[in-house]
Chains A and B, each alone.
Chain A
Amino acid sequence: MRKSCRIPAGAIFAALIALPCLGVPARAELRIDITSGHVEPMPIAIPAFPGGSPNESQAGRDIAGVVSADLERSGLFRPIDPRSFIQNVSLGDTQPRFPDWRQINAQALVTGSVQTQGDGRLRVEFRLWDVFAEQQLAGYGYTTTQQNWRRIAHIIADEIYKRITGEDGYFDTRIVYVAESGPAEKRVKRLSIMDQDGANNRFLTDGHALVLTPRFSPTAQEITYLSYGSGAPRVYLFNIDTGQQEVVGDFPGMTFAPRFSPDGNRVVLSRAENGTTNLYVLDLRTRRATRLTDSQAIDTSPCFSPDGSKIVFNSDRGGSQQLYVMNSDGSGVKRISFGSGKYGTPVWSPRGDLVAFTKIEGGSFFIGVMRPDGSGERLLTRDFLVEGPTWAPNGRVLMYFRQSPTDSRGHGGSTRLFSIDLTGSNQREVVTSQDASDPAWSPLLR
């Protein structure tokens, strides 16, 4: 059960250095407004970052490839096929030949370089250019270990995203999820973690114990999740750095549906007892539990608002499963969902402005969003079974899982991860090597 699984996550790279502007200082002209529904993807050219040695050149190709893939998957950028490039970018270039890039309709251009330092670490630089204004929009240099090149690529993609959209990116992040295998009656479920693009997948548990609903700590390399490891379903903490697992709190019976508070010091969860399920908050420092709700109903799937002042949850206290918001001390409970159907798994946007949820109506499942007062409901996707939305740290993209129907022979029933823009566009599968469910997005890595 205990498994040591060390994952490099902390600041392995050093020295983020802003590069001096080459050419005229830029005004913000090249811009994508991501708040509107449909966005025409911006054509962007990302040639391989040149390097001096074959090793450096390979790293430069790899980095440009990951940057390109990140930006493409966002739906906001259209990387141009490198075969159409006219200028062959090389190491000594100071300024791009802008007409060459205008001719292939590139609006933005990313150039860079890869060099190996004396200590063996990589020095990666990149610059983002406005091709039509002939201006540098951003430029940074990074130093990192050779094996850490993917993170540099994600960080560069985040910088480009931020410079062009005005919003923080979400590429230098990870997803914790449940990897699934085996037949439906005895499905094997393993806690797993991967980069947001599916790379660097690792299993955190060995599959002996049924595990469900992992969630990231907002502040530490920790996950809270449900495990049947001790026989009864209990909420656990998992330390990603050490592999250490421990039960959260000293509750008799079943605890489930855990989520961290925004400061990472508390876990809100459900406890079932005598047929009713209520919400509790556990202080991880004092290990003291406080009861938040006292109903004869099912109160579950709690989630803090980003400022920690409120909790959204679902309850069947009114007869069917609906969304409620209360103060984080349990006072002032208000129902917010009033549409037809049932509502579950509410998750508060990191921006605070929306709550995403799963809705069940008329034999279909939906992923939707509404404002925290219940107004402005929008359904983003519908399927046989979609469930469990999780927010990218910038509050612009949601990930969830989709399960296909199963026939009587057990065919089908596959579970897959998908991401979708808040606008409902750009639905994409997040490719995993085996079936996957219950995704949870990490904060931006630091």
Chain B
Amino acid sequence: MRTRITGIFGGLMLLLAAACSSAPETAPGGPGGPGGPGAGGPRGVGAGSFAPGSQQDLEASAGDRIFFAFDRSDITPESQEILARQAEWLRRYPNVTVTIEGHCDERGTREYNLALGERRAQAAKNVLVALGIPASRISTISYGKERPAVVGSTEEAYAQNRRAVTTVN
């Protein structure tokens, strides 16, 4: 199981790691440092045991987030795969409910981005529902451009921030 995840996820994790290490001191306090959304994945894969059905478990087993193109809410084939794994994971823990957070990069107006974030969260939810997860287990919330995962006014940061993150309630 773990090997497969690492394989599929390797590319993305490297990307995330690269994004993090662009700051010289990635150790505590660096962008996406411990506890930050960016670091959770890679740390999880290496570290091992998590409480079954926990956020860390979701991150390690399926990946907790999907990414979007600028001003889009289309689900890419890569995102479809991640959501399929999330659905599989959610079936394994039928008592777990989740909230999907929709986010945007900073290159839009605040109110439009609130709507776009909701649209992205809803797009992710629609996929999970189509894969058989009851809609009642999934709520959505939008943060617009208010809560970037990666700090920086660069295309790389923006790509990481245009996201829908599945969080265990």
CB within 8 Å of B: which residues of A? 183-187, 189, 210, 212-213, 226, 231-233, 254, 256-257, 270, 272, 274-277, 298, 300-301, 314, 316, 320-321, 342, 344-345, 358, 360, 384-385, 387-388, 403, 405-410, 412-413, 438
Contacts and interface: CB of A to CB of B under 8 A. Distances in A.
B148 interface: yes
Contacts of A232: 141
Given A321-B112, A385-B107, 17 more contacts: A183-B151, A187-B146, A272-B119, A272-B142, A275-B118, A298-B116, A300-B114, A314-B112, A342-B108, A344-B108, A344-B111, A345-B110, A384-B153, A387-B109, A388-B110, A408-B151, A408-B154
| Consensus secondary structure, chain B interface | loop
B34 interface: no
Contact of A408 (B107, B147, B152): B152
B146 A212 contact: yes
A408 B148 contact: no
A120 B153 CA distance: 56
A270 B119 CA distance: 13
B118 A300 contact: no
Interface in B102-144: 106-112, 114-116, 118-119, 122-123, 126, 141-142
Nearest to A358: B109
A212 B110 contact: yes
Among B36, B108, B149, residue most surrounded by chain A Cβ atoms (within 10 Å): B108
Contact of B110 (A272, A321, A387, A410): A387
Contact of A407 (B107, B111, B152): B152
| A-B complex: 7 closest residue pairs judged by Cβ atoms | A275-B122, A344-B109, A405-B153, A277-B115, A272-B118, A298-B115, A408-B152
Nearest to B126: A275
A71 to B, nearest CB: 33
A276 to B, nearest CB: 8
A443 to B, nearest CB: 22
Given A275-B119, A408-B151, A408-B157, A345 B146 contact: no
A301 B109 contact: yes
B63 interface: no
B31 interface: yes
A185 B114 contact: no
A300 B111 contact: yes
Given A233-B141, A408-B154, A256 B147 contact: no
Interface residues of B, number: 33
Contact of B147 (A185, A213, A276, A277): A185
Contacts of B141: 231-233, 254
A185 B36 contact: yes
A210 B146 contact: yes
B22 interface: yes
A256 B119 contact: no
Contacts of B142: 233, 254, 272
B47 interface: no
A15 to B, nearest CB: 44
Contacts of B51: none
B73 interface: yes
Contacts of B115: 256, 270, 272, 277, 298, 300
Contacts of A320: 71
21 contacts: A183-B151, A184-B151, A185-B31, A210-B146, A272-B115, A274-B122, A275-B118, A275-B119, A277-B115, A277-B118, A298-B119, A300-B111, A300-B115, A301-B112, A321-B71, A384-B153, A385-B107, A388-B109, A406-B151, A409-B31, A410-B31
A407 B22 CA distance: 10
Contact of B73 (A189, A210, A275, A413): A275
A412 B154 CA distance: 13
Given A275-B118, A409-B31, A270 B111 contact: yes
Contacts of A301: 109, 111-112
B1 interface: no
A360 B22 CA distance: 28
A407 to B, nearest CB: 6
